[in-house]
Amino acid sequence: MAAVVAFVSQKGGVGKSTLSRAFAREAAAGGLSVKLADLDLQQGTSLDWGRVRLQAGIEPRISVEAFATAAQALAVADRFDVLILDGPARTSEATLAIARAADLVVQPTGPSLDDLKPAVREFHALVKAGIPKERLVFALNRIGTDAEEADARAYLEQAGYAVLAGCLVERPAYRHAQNLGQAVTETRYARLRERADVLIQNLIDRIG
Ligand SMILES: Nc1ncnc2c1ncn2[C@@H]1O[C@H](COP(=O)(O)OP(=O)(O)OP(=O)(O)O)[C@@H](O)[C@H]1O
Ligand SMILES: [Mg+2]
């Protein structure tokens, strides 16, 4: 049975697909068999990315597939070491179903209070619905400075949640990489690769 890792948020555009892809890439590069499940049928952003990646011939190859529900994705879980659920935004019902299916639930968030407050509310709602707190972890994205990262981390930890080590800084190079079918851990800028890798390796350590 695969380790199931879900990326969720109520807010759109926080980095669910970005981190799903990077995690899929690094897990695959580490020799694990991976399925990246795109649960956003309307947008299909990870599906599109998977197609671009395949066309560009980028290794390791990553198997991306669309599923209508978390349950449908779970049905193929036993064929893989890792099943990654790239969740849709703005659907609390689907988010809960996805969280229930997952061994680890990752919520990316930006560092502003406008981002942090709803993000914490979202995890509180999952805990209230019966998801164990130990399964929930935040990932910091779109960070500008070290001070901003530290403040956001402190806010989330004070709210009682774990936060992955490292963060993604806000950089056009990360968008550019993904336009080419690469993960953010594959950008041609070594320093940005290394920074993204810290975050993703911390995640991989958690499913060990
Ligand atoms: N750290 C970053 N620096 C620059 N661009 C970023 C960063 N993180 C994400 N992006 C870009 O922001 C956009 C939204 O990111 P992404 O698609 O990962 O979010 P999402 O949470 O999956 O969105 P949705 O809710 O629509 O599914 C994408 O174009 C992505 O390339
Ligand atoms: Mg997405």
Ligand closest to Cα of 19 equals 1
Q: How many structural domains are present in the chain? A: 1
Interatomic CA distance for residues 175 and 122, integer angstroms: 26
Q: How far is the CA of 17 from the centre of ligand 2 (A)?
A: 4
pLDDT value at position 126? 97
Q: Is 151 exposed, middle or buried (0-12, 13-18, 19+ CB in 10 A)?
A: middle
- What distance in Å separates the CA atoms of residue 47 and residue 176, rounded to the nearest whole number? 17
- List, for residues 30-47, the tens digit of each pLDDT value: 999 999 999 999 999 999
Residue 153 has a pLDDT of 98
- Paired tokens of 204: 């991989």
Distance of CA 164 to the CA centre of its chain: 11
Q: Supply the pLDDT for residue 90.
A: 79
In this structure, what CATH number is given to the domain that contains residue 173?
A: 3.40.50.300
**Residue with CA nearest ligand 1 atom 29:** 175
Task: Kindly give the number of the ligand 1 atom that is closest to the alpha carbon of 89.
Answer: 25
- Within 6 A (CB) of ligand 1 lie 9, 12-18, 40, 43, 45, 89, 141-142, 168, 170-171, 174-175, 178
- CA–centroid distance, 178 to ligand 1, in Å, is 9
pLDDT tens track for 93-128: 889 999 999 999 999 999 999 999 999 999 999 999
Range of the domain at 164: 3-207
Which atom, in ligand 1's list, is nearest to the CA of 20? 18
Ligand number nearest to the C-alpha of 12: 1
Mean pLDDT within 180-202:
98
Q: Mean pLDDT throughout 53-62? A: 98
Q: Determine the distance separating the centroid of ligand 1 and the alpha carbon of 88, expressed in angstroms.
A: 12
Quickly list DSSP for 33-86: -EEEEE--TTT-HHHHHHHHHHHHTPSSP-EEEE-SSHHHHHTTGGG-SEEEEE
Q: Give 139 Cα–ligand 2 centroid separation in angstroms.
A: 15
